[in-house]
Amino acid sequence: RILSYADRAELPKIHPLASKLLKIMEEKKSNLCVSADVTSNKELLQLAESLGPKICMLKTHCDILKVEEKHFLLLNNTTFSSLKTAKQPDGLSAVGKPLGRGCLLIAQMSSQGSLATGEYTQAVVKMAEENSDFVIGFICGSKITEKPEFLHMTPGVQIKAGGDLMGQQYTTPEDVIYNKGSDVIIVGRGILEASDWLEAAESYRKSGWDAYKRRSGQSD
């Protein structure tokens, strides 16, 4: 039997942020991260407010936000990536750790023809293992390390498998969590393009959670 999210939250070597996320997942019965790819701050706040109860994490794309109503520009200062980070993620860690932050490394991508495969992916896993006091996991398509301290988070998820015109490839929550052994599904348009956000989020939450229960051999 595999370790539950709750078990993993208590691992002796777990990063506090990973532990926090795993506990949230267990408490809210949600392994759903919504990708808030919206361009208005109002919509972003609405999303957070309405879908908050269904999600374990909200992923933002602050650089696409247009703050138009009040007539000012938005300067998106992503503290970590704006620092000198030649020796990633060592440089990040020095700044992020004291702030209680953690980082996810992109190990694989969901887009067609992605070059983030094979040796690159392996090098990323190694980098994570060597920096486990700061790296909490990966953006990836499937489980890439057996170390239960690391979180696997997967984009390119829709209830119906398929793709878009820009090369995005979709697999289902069931496939990602049950077959590929990932921990979190990252869903954007599957929810944002639905007529009812809340209903869509609930259906993704349920699929993701059911798949996790099935994987971990628990029935509820």
Among 16-24, 49-57, 85-93, 103-111, the segment contacting ligand UP6 (CB under 6 A)? 103-111
Kindly state whether residue 187 participates in binding ligand UP6, applying the rule CB under 6 A: yes
156 in contact with ligand UP6 (CB under 6 A): yes
Helix (H, G, I), strand (E, B), or coil: what is residue 85?
coil
Structure token digits, residue 148: 């239960």
Q: Is 141 known to sit in a ligand binding site?
A: no
Q: Which one of 4, 30, 35, 145 is in contact with ligand UP6 (CB under 6 A)? A: 35
Q: Judged by CB, which is closer to ligand UP6: 99, or 115? A: 115
Q: Which is nearer to ligand UP6, 22 or 192 (CB)?
A: 192
CB of 99 to ligand UP6, least distance (A): 23
Binder to ligand UP6 among 131, 142, 168, 179 (CB under 6 A)? 168
- C-alpha to C-alpha distances, 77 to 86, 90, 124, 152, nearest whole angstrom: 18, 19, 25, 26
Cα(185)–Cα(210) distance, rounded to whole angstroms? Answer: 13
Q: With binding defined as CB under 6 A, does residue 169 bind ligand UP6? A: no
| Given 9, 33, 105, 109, the residue binding ligand UP6 (CB under 6 A) | 109
Does residue 138 contact residue 147 with C-beta atoms inside 8 Å?
A: no
| Under 8 Å between Cβ of 110 and 154 | yes
Smallest distance, ligand UP6 to C-beta of residue 33, A:
9
Among 137, 173, 188, 208, binds ligand UP6 (CB under 6 A): 188
- Residue 59's closest CA among 69, 51, 68? 51
- Indicate the Cα dihedral angle 50, 54, 55, 60, nearest 10°: -20
**φ and ψ of 40, to 5 deg:** -115, 140
Q: Which residues contact ligand UP6 by CB under 6 A?
A: 35, 37, 61, 109-111, 139, 155-156, 168, 186-190
